[in-house]
């Protein structure tokens, strides 16, 4: 297969020849007739926080292998070649079922297994406080439990590679140490921890702030607060939701400038309601609303419940909001999350897997995925 497009990092128009699922060569565009063309080409994206879409939730007690496959296929149409299915705060049996079903999907479908190298557990070890808790169910919030986690990891077949928790819980620090020793990346999120506790969590092994700037109180001390503390900690990477709803441009710009594109990860945090028309829907034993401007809210509150958009929308947004270039924007949504999780990279180089995103984009305009190729 011969592909022709501009290289996302150099802007050069190139011909990419793919053979047997790998990139065979990359050369300046020539006279040959390509099989497929687009404005640009880049490695596929990787989103470490996808909760579901189209009314399907990884957290559902009715999750099936077919549902997992549907979410993977839908994300692929948005340039997402890899993702972490994210299970959020829930009862043990619902979490166990989700983990076991994702494992079954990976073991029965090679395409799903390629797309899902890791699972993200966001909760249930979060703050029970209104604000930091966000849309997570209060009734299922609980302190870290190592035995419970081990049973979930067993159900997942060892695929849990990222855990978001609130470090202020009793027992959280030794829990972080055990996760880190087992090769699991620990993220701080949905927390109201003190600066001292955040520092202790970092020393114990925490490496990431989950969707920094969200999952927080609406009003807090202007200087001594957990957002500033995490932003100032050079040891912590930061994921941010750049869907245009969760963070204003000024906040996105500050986070990217402080952390730099080398330590910022773009996520869409797509909810199970991503892609659905406006209306009210039931999920996680709660009611949520998709509003016309394209966001998911807890009715009657200012709290968001994940995103309505997908990762591709975050690319154009972060360029406009933070002033980064196309290469950095795409790497923040692909190379950086893979680096954090210790996963193999996807680069535009001969010999690499042909996991490619063909898209159109002009500065200040819409980012539109034309085609996603995986091997």
Query: Tens digit of pLDDT for each residue in 33-55?
Result: 999 999 999 999 999 999 999 99
Q: How, if at all, do strands 36-43 and 356-360 pair? A: antiparallel
CA dist 341 → 92, 108, 300, 347 (Å): 25, 24, 37, 16
C-alpha to C-alpha distances, 62 to 46, 58, 95, 119, 280, nearest whole angstrom: 26, 9, 11, 18, 20
Q: Which of 187, 64, 92, 169 is nearest to 125 (CA)?
A: 169
Give domain 45-345's CATH architecture.
Alpha-Beta Barrel (3.20)
Res 286: pLDDT: 75
Tokens of 233: 């900690």
81-88 average pLDDT score: 98
Q: What's the average model confidence in pLDDT over 298-323?
A: 88
Give residue limits of the domains in the chain. 1-43+346-375, 45-345
- Between strands 208-209 and 237-241, the pairing is parallel
Give the pLDDT confidence of 259-292 residue by residue, as tens digits. 999 999 999 999 888 888 888 887 666 788 888 7
Give me the phi and psi of 150, to 5 degrees please. -60, -35
The pTM of the full predicted model, rounded to 2 decimals, is 0.95
Q: Point out the residues that are catalytic.
A: 269
- Which is the CATH superfamily of the domain at 1-43+346-375? Urease, subunit C, domain 1 (2.30.40.10)
318 pLDDT band (50/70/90 cuts)?
very high
* CB atoms inside a 10 Å sphere around CB 88: 30
Tokens 């009210």 belong to residue: 280
What are the Cα distances from residue 44, in Å, to 18, 30, 47, 78, 98?
Answer: 15, 24, 10, 9, 25
């Amino acid at each position: 297969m011969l592909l022709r497009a501009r290289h996302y990092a150099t802007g050069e128009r190139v011909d990419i020849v793919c053979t047997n699922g790998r990139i065979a060569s990359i050369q300046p565009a020539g006279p040959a007739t390509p099989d497929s063309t687009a404005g640009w080409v880049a490695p596929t994206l990787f989103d470490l926080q996808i909760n579901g879409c189209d009314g399907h939730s990884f957290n559902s007690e009715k999750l099936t292998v077919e549902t997992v496959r549907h979410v993977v296929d839908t994300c692929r149409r948005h340039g997402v070649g890899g993702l972490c299915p994210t299970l959020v705060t829930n009862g043990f049996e619902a979490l166990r079922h989700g983990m076991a079903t994702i494992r079954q999907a990976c073991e029965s479908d090679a395409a799903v297994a390629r797309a899902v190298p890791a699972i993200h557990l966001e909760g249930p070890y979060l703050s029970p406080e209104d604000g930091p808790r966000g849309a997570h169910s209060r009734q299922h919030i609980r302190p870290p439990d190592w035995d419970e986690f081990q049973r979930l990891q067993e159900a997942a077949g060892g695929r849990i590679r990222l855990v978001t928790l609130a470090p202020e819980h009793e027992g959280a620090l030794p829990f972080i140490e055990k996760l880190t020793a087992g090769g699991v990346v620990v993220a701080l999120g949905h927390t109201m921890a003190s600066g001292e506790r955040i520092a202790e969590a970092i020393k114990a092994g925490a490496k990431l702030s989950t969707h920094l700037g969200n999952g927080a109180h609406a009003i807090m001390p202007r200087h001594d607060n957990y957002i500033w503390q995490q932003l100032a900690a050079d040891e912590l990477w930061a994921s941010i939701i750049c869907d245009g709803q969760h963070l204003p441009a000024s906040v996105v710009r500050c986070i990217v400038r402080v952390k730099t594109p080398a330590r910022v990860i773009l996520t869409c945090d797509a909810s199970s309601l991503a892609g659905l028309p406006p209306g009210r829907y039931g999920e996680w034993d709660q009611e949520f609303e998709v509003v016309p401007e394209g966001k998911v809210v807890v009715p009657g509150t200012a709290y968001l419940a994940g995103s309505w958009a997908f990762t591709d929308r975050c690319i154009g947004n972060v360029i406009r909001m933070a002033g980064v270039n196309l290469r950095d924007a795409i790497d923040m949504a692909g190379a950086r999350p893979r680096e954090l999780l210790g996963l193999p990279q996807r680069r535009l180089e001969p010999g690499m897997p042909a996991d490619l995103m063909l898209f159109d984009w002009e500065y200040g305009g819409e980012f539109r995925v034309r085609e996603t190729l995986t091997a």
